[in-house]
Amino acid sequence: MTASAEDRARDLRTRLESVQRRIAEATEKAGREQAPQLIVVSKFFPASDVQILHEFGMTDFGENKDQEAAAKSAELSDLNLRWHFIGQLQSNKAKSVVRYASMVHSVDRASIVNALGKAMAREIAAAEEAGEPARPDLEVLIQVDFGEEFSPDHDATPASSGAQRGGVVPQEIAALAAAISETQHLTLRGLMTVAPLGAEPGKVFDRLREELDGLNRLYPDASIMSAGMSHDLEAAIESGATHLRIGSDVLGPRPAVR
């Protein structure tokens, strides 16, 4: 390794260990036996960082742009990684996303469900034709937007609202869940949220937990609660998050908000 690569590895190790310590402490404080799964959000950072973090035992990585994710996952295809797609998804990207993603956290409309289902069917047919083993079902989460419940000025300030981040209002979860469960090659695994700006994360995450518990009674596989970012991971663990999506506190500050 070059000197700068060694510096970067040392930097990443320090940051990762600090995040792991926070997770362990919050897990204990919440009286939970098992720590949530850490997904390192590698958006904006190079494949070389992912490789270093993989050497430190990280297996799950999150990306929010198809182009960047497709390139990074291709570059690292010899590593045994699980890629999580966590960004706003356009139907025309579904074909690409299903090639590398194990899980899509950001499903928020029927047209995306349909596009992912079709893309998966195509992938599986192609594998069959080539005599390759079929990939497992795509795991999907419904992204929920609690903006209306937690930001009274939701409509007045679209720039800071959940509308920009995507997600369905809680009343729409049931219909989307039904659409997913009726779609071949997709498995509904649970719910995801990003706490709206200005809202108390713990209260938002408690609402997500409540919605998930209801959903999970109807769909036994839907047990994943994807919540918690760098600044609110403790609140997410307290509310029962099973998967954390941590970017900047592991990798360092990003040049700009994306």
Ligand X SMILES: *Cc1c(COP(=O)(O)O)cnc(C)c1O
Where does this chain bind ligand X (CB under 6 A)?
Answer: 41, 43, 64, 86-87, 194, 229-230, 245-249
The residue among 69 and 124 lying less far from ligand X, judged by its C-beta, is: 69
Shortest distance (Å) from residue 155 CB to ligand X:
22
Report helix, strand or coil for 168: strand
CA distances in angstroms from 148 to 84, 168, 189, 202, 205, listed in the order given: 27, 11, 24, 16, 14
Query: For residues 177 and 219, is the Cβ–Cβ distance under 8 A?
Result: yes
Shortest distance (Å) from residue 45 CB to ligand X:
10
Shortest distance (Å) from residue 159 CB to ligand X:
16
The residue among 124 and 143 lying less far from ligand X, judged by its C-beta, is: 143
The rounded distance, in Å, linking the Cα atoms of 92 and 3 is 42
- 112 Cα distance to chain centroid: 16
Shortest distance (Å) from residue 86 CB to ligand X:
4
The residue among 124 and 246 lying less far from ligand X, judged by its C-beta, is: 246
Shortest distance (Å) from residue 54 CB to ligand X:
18
Nearest residue relative to ligand X (C-beta): 247
For the chain, where are the E strands, in sequence order? Answer: 37-41, 60-63, 82-85, 101-107, 138-144, 186-193, 224-226, 243-246
The residue among 178 and 229 lying less far from ligand X, judged by its C-beta, is: 229
Q: Which two tokens stand for residue 190?
A: 């649970």
Shortest distance (Å) from residue 246 CB to ligand X:
5
Q: Look-up: residue for tokens 């080539």?
A: 130
The residue among 101 and 124 lying less far from ligand X, judged by its C-beta, is: 101
For 95-148, where are the E strands, in sequence order? Answer: 101-107, 138-144
In this structure, the number of other CB atoms found within 10 A of the CB of residue 107 comes to 26
The rounded distance, in Å, linking the Cα atoms of 108 and 169 is 9
The residue among 124 and 233 lying less far from ligand X, judged by its C-beta, is: 233
